[in-house]
Amino acid sequence: MRYMLIIHNDPELHPVPGDPAWDELMAGYADFSKELASHGRPFIGDPLNGPETATTVRVRNGETLTVDGPFAETKEWMSGFYIIECDDLDQALAAAAMVPSAKYGSVEVRPVAEM
């Protein structure tokens, strides 16, 4: 079964490029990807640009409405994702706990709907 790990960061806690903690975080992501691969779990994952680059689209009464920014005001923002193959939810939760940014925000785990 596939699970999406949705990474949310708190900008007040998250390291920034140029900070030694940033380099440690990036090394952690490289290690996390190697760990997934070593267990033969197929995955994809990418970082996202900041919420200031987002545009939210809604369609109401046939009219398309766009708003700059994310859909809701929130302290944490979605900063990246992985889609991983796991045997069950417990495996997906264990993988989410290994995501380096879990120390600075949260990782939402959600099964991918099989259509």
Residue 102: closest CA among 83, 75, 80, 85: 80
Residue 70 domain-assigned (yes or no): no
The answer to whether residue 40 is domain-embedded is yes
Tally of structural domains, the chain? 1
- Which pLDDT does position 72 carry in this prediction? 59
CATH of the domain at 15: 3.30.70.1060
**Where would I find the H helices in the chain?**
20-38, 89-98
61 lies in a domain? no
pLDDT digits (tens, 9 = 90+) for 52-95: 888 888 889 999 888 887 655 566 778 899 999 999 999 999 99
Q: Which domain holds residue 88?
A: 2-50+75-111
